[in-house]
Structure 1
Amino acid sequence: MTALAPEPAGASPAPTPSSSSSSPSSPSAGRTAEPPARFGDVFAAEWIKLRSLRSTPWIFAFAVLFVVGSSAAAALAESANLAGVEMAARPNEGFLVFDAYPVPGYLTLMLVAGSLGAFSVVNEYSSGLIRTTMVAVPARREVVLAKAAVVTAVWTVAGTVTSIGSFTVSQAILNVHQAGVPFSHPGVLRAVVVSALVAPVCALVGLCFGVLVRHAAAATVTTGFVLLMLPVFFSTSVRWSADVNHLMVSSAWKRLVEHWSPPPGSGFDYPTVSGSWTVLAVWPLAAVVLSLAVVRRRDV
């Protein structure tokens, strides 16, 4: 039998597994789970995506200047017609609404807003960035809500600037012949407000079609058709056709921008003011709800 060597004096006993004071930590030890992205962070990310595109400021500048310019052109044409007419011979027309808010200019604004709303979604699908976005923020509904919030905020500002600019420029031109009206004139405030809100409404409609179609050209064509072309297929002389026409965004805007009462016995079915406000409220709400429902069930 071999004898064990004696331990050196002053040496401590060898540590055993039970007596060790610490053990090697795993790579994940001490690592805290990252909190989920807050809505404010997602909103900021979507805002960075929008403003980082070089075309974004040019599109907004073009839309505002074009619409205000069309208002100025309409007011100049009206001013030329009033130049040779005596004040006493002029009809008491009051607020010349379509000089301040010409239909071609605002239909163009609706198309641009709807198209940019669609691009805010389809650009990510076409570039593949949507996969990175969904990995960073697995809550897809939160991403869509952030996109909708950014689109609404940006186009509300653009629509307000455009609406106030259109009214101010047109009335300044018409005032040369004493045909302009102030903001306090009946019907002006409603026209200013609805002309400012129609841009974000159309942008949210475009965003919805972007989520549904996920193709740039198809989403743009679909948005333009629904917003601009579809109302043309329905007249106001037949009840059922008029009811469908009144459900369109452009029809609601045209009714609210004017200050008048339907003439009795005219043979036409005109939309109501309350019904038109309801249409403008339901369209963006339905667009956001449908987008939230679809984005959760479809693959990226």
Structure 2
Amino acid sequence: MTTPTTTDSTVVPGVPPVEDKARFSDLLAAEWIKLWSLRSTPWAFAGTVALILTVTVIGATADAQHFAGDGEKDKAYFRMFGAVGSSFSTGAATVLIVGAGAIGAITILGEYTTGLIRTTFTAVPARRSVMAAKVAVVAAATTALGVVAALLSFGVAQGILAGQDAAVGFGHHNVALLLTVSAALAPVSALVGMGLATLIRHSVLTIVATIALLFVIPSVLNTRSHLSASIMHVTILQAWRRIGYGQDPTQMWPWTAGGACVVLVVWALVAAALAILTPHHRDQ
């Protein structure tokens, strides 16, 4: 005599079986697969790192050439401050925020433009859970991107400067802080791209808005007026500069590093909230 096999669900004739709700770990796994199934994702990650290293090589090479012709006083100043700046320049930071912002946007647009998002929400009606998993996966992936980009940029820059005996190590003044905040740029920017994509849902407009918000607006502002300086202080790029490079002593409208940290956190939280909550209130 055989013993009947027991299952977690009971099948009643004429009544469709009740399926278990998707666990959040399952949603994370699904979103991870979807992220890397996009053909543009590996290219976007690799292209961002490659452009950052290109900018770093050009800048560090120029710094090394200038260093060779400097006097001893200027060389001492460069070893203290300039070598740190070569580790991750403003140009490298700009490439990172634009690249990460685009990555965040395409993870949303890839599903909206193909209509796959309807299938996703049909399979898992808990839209907030789906979007929270997507946010978590993108934040984790771009954090890794930021860490790799920052460390490689530092290694390449210091390798070039070592030829002129101008290199510094991780323990040098402000290096660890600069690399940490530089790595944090990637997930913050990616979340901004995701938030904008859920609001706009149009590929070209989303990318344009992301670049304008992360790069164009901070680039055209200046500190000559209080209003302009105040707007600058709430942009991601300028918050990164304040934390990583410190404050210019000639700054007319000074602000604190703590305030700059708050700016980055607020950008990330607001963007994540937009990405998670907006699809819940809008038809797909």
TM-score, with structure 2 as normaliser: 0.90
| Counterparts of 1:98 and 1:89, CA distance in 2 | 15
Q: Indicate the residue corresponding to 2:164 in structure 1.
A: 177
**1:158-187, Cα deviation, whole Å (9 max, x unpaired):** 110000111111111112212111111111
* Structure label with greater radius of gyration: 1
| 1:287 to 2:271 alignment | yes
The alpha-carbon deviation at position 208 of structure 1 amounts to: 0.1
Q: Which amino acid aligns with 1:256?
A: I
Q: Indicate the residue corresponding to 1:136 in structure 2.
A: 123
Segments ≥4 residues shifted beyond 6 Å = none
| Counterparts of 1:154 and 1:89, CA distance in 2 | 40
| Counterparts of 1:229 and 1:105, CA distance in 2 | 15
The alpha-carbon deviation at position 127 of structure 1 amounts to: 0.4
**1:79-112, Cα deviation, whole Å (9 max, x unpaired):** 1112233545635231323322122222122111
| 1:270 to 2:254 alignment | yes
**1:76 counterpart SS class:** helix
| 1:58 to 2:43 alignment | yes
Q: Indicate the residue corresponding to 1:95 in structure 2.
A: 81
Residues 1:26 and 1:219: Cα distance change in structure 2 (over 3 Å): same
Between stretches 78-87 and 223-232, larger displacement belongs to: 78-87
Question: Which structure: greater helix fraction?
Answer: 2
| Counterparts of 2:217 and 2:70, CA distance in 1 | 39
| 1:147 to 2:134 alignment | yes
Residues 1:36 and 1:201: Cα distance change in structure 2 (over 3 Å): same
| Counterparts of 2:46 and 2:74, CA distance in 1 | 40
| 1:41 to 2:26 alignment | yes
Residues 1:253 and 1:140: Cα distance change in structure 2 (over 3 Å): same
Give the one of 194, 199, 209 matched to 2:181: 194
Give the one of 107, 110, 124 matched to 1:120: 107
Give the one of 97, 102, 107 matched to 2:94: 107
Q: Which amino acid aligns with 2:153?
A: S
**1:185 counterpart SS class:** coil
Contact 1:117 1:151 in 2 (8 A): yes
Residues 1:261 and 1:220: Cα distance change in structure 2 (over 3 Å): closer
Q: Which amino acid aligns with 1:296?
A: H
RMSD, matched Cα: 1.7
Structure 2 residue ranges without an equivalent (≥5)? 1-11
Structure 1 residue ranges without an equivalent (≥5)? 1-24
**Percent of pairs with identical residues:** 38
Count of residues in Structure 1 that have an aligned counterpart in Structure 2: 271
Contact 1:255 1:276 in 2 (8 A): yes
Q: Which amino acid aligns with 1:70?
A: V
TM-score, with structure 1 as normaliser: 0.85
Q: Which amino acid aligns with 2:81?
A: F
The alpha-carbon deviation at position 262 of structure 1 amounts to: 4.1
| 1:297 to 2:281 alignment | yes
| Counterparts of 2:81 and 2:74, CA distance in 1 | 17
